[in-house]
């Protein structure tokens, strides 16, 4: 290595500076790995928390299902008893209905027989009435002949008179019997009609009773099946509850382990951050003592360009192009429709005009240079190199890599670069290129002051 004119050649100090730089690289690489592991641990912790919540919800729902299954079983049991009782009543009623229908049908048949008997009685009574008429005629004729016979026919006349009275009574009785038979025939006829109607209703009732009995039988079967399913649900929910109860302690143990791991990673990350600061301090100290590394030319360049920016800013104020208040504007106004979000300040237009003349040549200073850009004390980068200031697209991954102007980089490196007031600050970091891609970089910065007030810093990033 050739010594730089402004720094003496001190081999041991130079070796220390090289070692400090290499140490910084390794530490930052480890820090990046820890960032990834920490992010994964956070995701696992969040997923486990969600799993615990879902497990609790499953247990609650399972308890509700088990309670519902138990209630359903009791309800089905009561329903089964009611259905069985109803079926028994319907079957008993059906038996009685069939007996009544049979009796009514028999009554209808007997009514027909009685009607036929009454017809025969009526016919016989008519014959009796006819005979009584004939007897009455004979009695009248006998009385006439007895009268002709004189005294010798008196006895016969008495008999004839008696026969005549008997025939009259027989005639009257026959007439009364006929009347009674007519009345009885009417009753029997009406009874027969009613019996037929009742028999038809009883027949329909027996059909309905049979259908009802069949429906109740099916209902009994269905209720029985439902009770069996309810019992199965109760058994399965008990199995689920047992499984959840068995799994819960393991899940809690895993959760405790992840929490402990996450906390450990956080602590390790904090220690790594302190190591990064320490390695940077070592690099700074060796540089102050005159230790040389490959970074020395970059240190000179970035300090010179930061001073040039200071002159340009102060010249713009002197020429009335911008006020001190506007140059130190810290109001970041979001630009609509940008992702990642870009913002504007009062001084953006001026810096877009004056900074490219200083920042663009730095890209040709050394082939390892990736970008050169000024940031304010909050890490806001208003004007980037042209290759990183492309118009945004509808693609956040592409924008992350190509639309880096007007963005706030308030990460550790960006904030330290903007807020450091040391003559220079050398940092090592992993640059997010978008899409999960990172590049190990060195970030060298020098402060920018305007009329004694710290505005920010000029960042010069280059590869190892």
Asked if 35 contacts 328 with a C-beta cutoff of 8 angstroms, the reply is: no
Asked if 216 contacts 87 with a C-beta cutoff of 8 angstroms, the reply is: yes
Question: Taking the domains of the chain in order of start, what are their residue ranges?
Answer: 61-248, 292-463
Q: Does domain 61-248 have CATH number 1.10.3720.10?
A: no
The CA distance from 397 to 114, in Å, is 109
459 Cβ contact partners less than 8 Å away, ≥ 6 residues apart: 302, 371, 372, 373, 374, 375, 414, 417, 443, 444, 445
pLDDT confidence of residue 84:
72
Q: Which residues of 335-374 are buried (b: 16+ CB within 10 A; e: fewer)?
A: eeeeeeebbebbbbebbeebbeebbeebeebeeebbbbbb
Task: State the pLDDT confidence band at 205, using cuts at 50, 70 and 90.
Answer: low
The CA distance from 68 to 91, in Å, is 33
pLDDT digits (tens, 9 = 90+) for 110-135: 666 666 776 776 676 677 767 767 77
Task: State the pLDDT confidence band at 5, using cuts at 50, 70 and 90.
Answer: very low
The CA distance from 247 to 348, in Å, is 59
Task: State the pLDDT confidence band at 3, using cuts at 50, 70 and 90.
Answer: very low
pLDDT confidence of residue 371:
96
- For the cut 60, the answer to whether the pLDDT of residue 2 exceeds it is no
Asked if 347 contacts 319 with a C-beta cutoff of 8 angstroms, the reply is: no
Name the residue with tokens 């104020």: 317
Of the chain, the end-to-end C-alpha distance in Å amounts to 16
Task: State the pLDDT confidence band at 296, using cuts at 50, 70 and 90.
Answer: confident
Give mean pLDDT, residues 282-303: 78
Taking alpha carbons only, the member of 210, 213, 211, 220 closest to residue 84 is 220
Q: Does domain 292-463 have CATH number 3.30.450.20?
A: yes
Give mean pLDDT, residues 65-91: 70
| 252 token code pair | 């809690």
Helix then strand then coil, in percent of the chain rounded to 5, is 75, 10, 15
Whether the predicted model's global pTM rises above the 0.75 cut = no
In terms of pLDDT, which residue wins out, 310 or 197? 310
- For the cut 90, the answer to whether the pLDDT of residue 333 exceeds it is yes
pLDDT confidence of residue 7:
44
pLDDT confidence of residue 244:
64
Give mean pLDDT, residues 82-95: 68
In terms of pLDDT, which residue wins out, 226 or 420? 420
pLDDT confidence of residue 206:
62
Task: State the pLDDT confidence band at 22, using cuts at 50, 70 and 90.
Answer: low
455 Cβ contact partners less than 8 Å away, ≥ 6 residues apart: 313, 327, 328, 376, 377, 448, 449
- For the cut 50, the answer to whether the pLDDT of residue 6 exceeds it is no
| 192 token code pair | 């027969």
The CA distance from 95 to 114, in Å, is 28
Asked if 164 contacts 140 with a C-beta cutoff of 8 angstroms, the reply is: yes
pLDDT digits (tens, 9 = 90+) for 433-453: 656 677 788 999 999 999 999
- For the cut 80, the answer to whether the pLDDT of residue 408 exceeds it is yes
| 308 token code pair | 């040039």
Task: State the pLDDT confidence band at 420, using cuts at 50, 70 and 90.
Answer: very high
Task: State the pLDDT confidence band at 1, using cuts at 50, 70 and 90.
Answer: very low
Identify the bridge partners of residue 107 per DSSP, sorted by sequence position.
Answer: none
Name the residue with tokens 């940092």: 427
pLDDT confidence of residue 367:
95
In terms of pLDDT, which residue wins out, 386 or 209? 386
In terms of pLDDT, which residue wins out, 5 or 276? 276
Asked if 20 contacts 284 with a C-beta cutoff of 8 angstroms, the reply is: no
Q: Give the percent of the chain with pLDDT over 90.
A: 32
Domain 61-248 identical in fold to domain 292-463: no
In terms of pLDDT, which residue wins out, 381 or 286? 381
The CA distance from 439 to 385, in Å, is 18
């Amino acid at each position: 290595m050739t010594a730089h004119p402004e720094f003496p050649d001190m081999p041991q100090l130079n070796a220390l500076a090289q070692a400090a730089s290499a140490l910084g690289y390794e530490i930052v690489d480890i820090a990046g790995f820890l960032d990834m592991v920490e992010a994964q641990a956070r995701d696992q912790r969040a997923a486990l928390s969600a799993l615990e919540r879902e497990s609790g919800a499953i247990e609650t729902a399972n308890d509700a299902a088990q309670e519902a299954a138990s209630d359903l079983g009791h309800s089905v049991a009561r329903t089964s008893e009611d259905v069985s009782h109803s079926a028994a009543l319907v079957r008993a009623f059906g038996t009685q209905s069939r007996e009544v229908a049979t009796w009514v049908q028999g009554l209808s048949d007997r009514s027909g027989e009685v009607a036929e008997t009454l017809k025969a009685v009526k016919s016989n009574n008519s014959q009796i009435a006819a005979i009584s008429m004939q007897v009455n005629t004979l009695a009248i004729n006998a009385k006439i002949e007895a009268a002709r016979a004189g005294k010798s026919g008196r006895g016969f006349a008495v008999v004839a008179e008696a026969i005549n009275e008997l025939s009259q009574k027989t005639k009257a009785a026959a007439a009364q019997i006929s009347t009674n038979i007519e009345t009885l025939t009417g009753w029997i006829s009406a009874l027969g009609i009613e019996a037929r109607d009742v028999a038809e209703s009883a027949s329909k009732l027996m059909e309905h009773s049979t259908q009802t009995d069949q429906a109740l039988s099916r209902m009994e079967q269905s209720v029985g099946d439902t009770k069996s399913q309810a019992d199965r649900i109760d058994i399965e929910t008990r199995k689920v509850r047992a499984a959840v109860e068995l799994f819960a302690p393991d899940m809690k143990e895993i959760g405790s382990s992840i929490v402990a791991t996450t906390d450990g990673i956080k602590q390790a990350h904090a220690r790594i951050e302190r190591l990064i600061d320490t390695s940077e301090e070592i690099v700074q100290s060796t540089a102050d003592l005159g230790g040389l590394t490959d970074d020395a030319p970059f240190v000179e360049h970035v300090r010179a360009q930061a001073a040039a920016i200071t002159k340009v800013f102060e010249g713009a104020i002197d020429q009335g192009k911008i006020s001190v208040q506007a140059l130190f504007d810290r109001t970041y106004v979001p630009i609509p429709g940008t992702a990642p979000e870009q913002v504007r300040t009062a001084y953006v237009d001026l810096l877009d005009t004056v900074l490219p003349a200083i920042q663009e040549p730095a890209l040709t200073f050394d082939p390892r240079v990736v970008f050169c850009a000024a940031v304010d004390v909050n890490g806001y980068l208003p004007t980037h190199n042209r290759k990183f200031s492309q118009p945004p697209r509808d693609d956040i991954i592409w924008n992350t890599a190509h639309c880096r102007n007007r963005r706030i980089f308030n990460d550790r490196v960006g904030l330290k670069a903007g807020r450091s007031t040391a003559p220079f600050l050398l940092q090592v970091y992993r640059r997010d290129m978008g899409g999960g891609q990172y590049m190990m970089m060195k970030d060298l910065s020098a402060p920018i002051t305007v009329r004694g007030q710290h505005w920010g810093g000029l960042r010069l990033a280059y590869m190892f």
